[in-house]
A = this chain, B = another copy of it.
């Protein structure tokens, strides 16, 4: 046959920037999300699952990170009519739902949502174009009591998945305080809010980069601009030294206690009405959290948190893990942020024209899972199934009956279903499956009504460590009566 006749075979590959999740990668994430959902549920939040596909019109141009303008959505046009797209977060669909069902939903509407979102951005190492988010939001509650609740719930959620108290802190700030500081610095005019909007955007993003750029880098971005290591120049906000001093003073306004921080902020915002309102909101939040026992070991006021998103209008918060890990270069560094959110009062307004107060948090599912791995909370090799090996092809029914007996007793079990010819392959398979026990019954054993159990975990330990004497003393296999199969397997599993 001529080679030309063979049609080209499709490549067996995920598209660039997408990946598959196997076994424990799926179940560990699921267990984590289940634990978080239980906390949300206990707080009165209801599940919501919107479709993955939205109209581009409904999604709007609210892509969260304004620093990456190339970031987009996966979109396609339907029959020369509507443009449809995959959701890029869980907040935009919530805004659509809140508008669409505004007459049916309870108000306030507390909902949680978890699922994949998609970003049409350049994939990079560890950066995927489909990833999970896990959000909780309250729509229709104007009081900052709703923000306080979200912060407390976030702390509970982190502890529920296995982050110990002391290993995380939820940091709370308020955009209104920042706006008050901007007024004092002369880059916000309450009578003309559009003026200096561009500069304020630069200030906001500069502050948000404190972790990465440090004080000097941020200071440069507040002023003329900053040249990075590669020589690229980023234009700054153009603030004078005096103006920049005010902003930098804000970021450094965190004191030892919440009360002292509030006092420092009150000084900074001076006569700004918005600023004073912001400080007073933070005061309320702190009092509410205190009353429920969420002290500074869990939640603190920290003016250094601003969050990059443009749409926040009031309190903002961020959960940070405070323990150290080794980064790719082997340097110790703090694990960093795993969740963030804040108050956004205008997302529903796009649809209805009416401002609807809303606040919420989004947990970075993959980062939190990585943190649990770092803490040893997940990732322990899960035991595989007991594998019933096949010695006689004609007695598959017997082997299936053994597996059924084990399963009925709640023990994970399977019959080897590959080609049974080479017994070595069956043990290799059991090994790959991380099987704790192989069950063996040839015709001789069958005639005598017995089976052999091979303890694969002990066997591996012995093979790795034991002297010949020990090996003889502790045989890793055991002959038992077929009728004792379930009991003996249970004993061996421990």
Bound form: Cα–Cα A401–B18 in Å: 45
The stretch among A100-108, A196-204, A240-248, A334-342 that forms the contact with chain B is A100-108
Q: Mark A377-411, 1 if CB is under 8 A from B, else 0.
A: 00000001101000000001110110110010011
Choose from B22, B49, B76, B353 the contact partner of A21 (Cβ within 8 Å).
B49
Bound form: Cα–Cα A57–B13 in Å: 10
Chain B residues within 8 Å of A78, by CB = 15
Bound form: Cα–Cα A50–B12 in Å: 13
* In contact, A58 and B143 (Cβ under 8 angstroms): no
Q: Mark A212-254, 1 if CB is under 8 A from B, else 0.
A: 0000000000000000000000000000000000000000000
Q: A291-B397, A291-B400 are in contact. Are A417 and B149 (CB under 8 A)?
A: yes
Q: A51-B18, A84-B74 are in contact. Are A350 and B9 (CB under 8 A)?
A: yes
Q: A48-B21, A52-B52, A433-B44 are in contact. Are A404 and B293 (CB under 8 A)?
A: yes
Q: How many copies does the complex hold?
A: 2
* In contact, A50 and B145 (Cβ under 8 angstroms): no
Chain B residues within 8 Å of A179, by CB = none
Chain B residues within 8 Å of A44, by CB = 384-385, 387, 412-414, 433
Chain B residues within 8 Å of A108, by CB = 417-418
The stretch among A134-142, A181-189, A464-472 that forms the contact with chain B is A134-142
* In contact, A396 and B118 (Cβ under 8 angstroms): no
Bound form: Cα–Cα A142–B390 in Å: 14
Chain B residues within 8 Å of A361, by CB = none
Q: Mark A33-60, 1 if CB is under 8 A from B, else 0.
A: 0000000011110111111111101101
* In contact, B47 and A96 (Cβ under 8 angstroms): no
Chain B residues within 8 Å of A18, by CB = 51, 53
CB distance from A311 to the nearest CB of B (A): 16
CB distance from A413 to the nearest CB of B (A): 7
Chain B residues within 8 Å of A100, by CB = 12-14, 20
Confirm or deny: A439 has a beta carbon within 8 angstroms of a beta carbon on chain B: no
Confirm or deny: A267 has a beta carbon within 8 angstroms of a beta carbon on chain B: no
* In contact, B9 and A52 (Cβ under 8 angstroms): no
Choose from B118, B351, B403 the contact partner of A10 (Cβ within 8 Å).
B351
CB distance from A195 to the nearest CB of B (A): 20
Q: Mark A2-26, 1 if CB is under 8 A from B, else 0.
A: 0000000111111100111111011
CB distance from A181 to the nearest CB of B (A): 27
Confirm or deny: A97 has a beta carbon within 8 angstroms of a beta carbon on chain B: yes
Chain B residues within 8 Å of A23, by CB = 46-48
Interface of chain A residues 127 through 178 with chain B (CB within 8 A)? 129-130, 138, 140-143, 145-146, 148-149, 152
Besides A30-B47, A106-B433, A143-B417, 19 other CB < 8 A contacts? A9-B351, A10-B350, A20-B49, A20-B50, A22-B48, A26-B47, A26-B49, A42-B407, A44-B385, A44-B414, A52-B118, A53-B74, A53-B86, A76-B76, A108-B417, A110-B414, A146-B417, A288-B400, A293-B404
24 A-B contacts (beta carbon < 8 Å)? A9-B351, A11-B58, A13-B55, A13-B100, A15-B82, A18-B53, A20-B48, A44-B387, A44-B412, A44-B413, A52-B52, A52-B116, A53-B86, A106-B432, A143-B396, A145-B415, A145-B417, A148-B400, A284-B396, A288-B396, A288-B400, A291-B397, A291-B400, A293-B404
